[in-house]
């Protein structure tokens, strides 16, 4: 895993549509996204779904095998953030202003966790998101997310 600042402008050429699979691959080489090995699962016009496989080093309680909450927070932060870029069709710098995660149940030991982020509204400076985490059945969520991101810059490229 490399550390440093990713050059997203070099992989998202000006005039091309934002590609969440490509950007996730690039982001997977850096920081916590790289450490967690987040995998791109799919996307639509306003949503992105990522996943993280259960690993022993991500466990909060060795007696139960339950994942640390920070894993779910990072997954949802990335999925919701990418949903904004997907809805915009371009990468623009932004920062998490507020992200609330409501846990409904723990993720069982050994289970893969999926996180779907949905951008439901954009203004000139704010992206509004919601989402949910699950273990393969979206009808049985383990957490809900809602938040806002401040869009701070122009298109990068």
Please state, in angstroms and as integers, the Cα–Cα distance from residue 112 to each residue in 55, 84, 100, following that order.
Answer: 9, 24, 21
95-113 burial, b at 16+ Cβ within 10 Å, e below that, comes to eeeebebeeeebbeeebeb
pLDDT tens across the length of the chain (157 residues): 444 555 555 555 566 678 777 877 777 677 777 889 999 999 999 999 999 999 999 999 999 999 999 999 999 999 999 999 999 998 888 999 999 999 999 999 999 999 999 999 999 899 999 999 999 999 999 999 999 999 987 655 4
Q: Regarding the domain delimited by 16-151, which CATH topology (the fold level of the hierarchy) does it fall under?
A: Thiol Ester Dehydrase; Chain A (3.10.129)
């Amino acid at each position: 895993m490399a550390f440093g600042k990713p050059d997203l402008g070099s992989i998202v050429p000006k005039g091309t549509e934002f590609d969440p699979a490509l950007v996730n691959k690039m982001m997977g080489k850096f920081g916590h996204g790289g450490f967690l090995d987040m995998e791109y699962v799919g996307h639509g016009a306003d949503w992105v779904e990522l996943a993280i496989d259960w690993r022993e080093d991500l466990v909060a309680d060795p007696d139960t095998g339950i994942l640390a909450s920070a894993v779910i927070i990072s997954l949802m932060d990335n999925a919701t953030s990418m949903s904004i870029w997907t809805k915009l069709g371009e990468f623009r710098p932004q920062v998490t202003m507020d992200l609330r995660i409501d846990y409904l149940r723990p993720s069982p030991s050994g289970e893969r966790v999926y996180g779907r982020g949905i951008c439901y509204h954009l203004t000139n400076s704010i992206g509004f998101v919601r989402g949910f985490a699950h273990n393969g059945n979206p009808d049985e969520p383990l957490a809900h997310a809602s938040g806002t991101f401040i869009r701070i810059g122009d298109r990068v490229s």
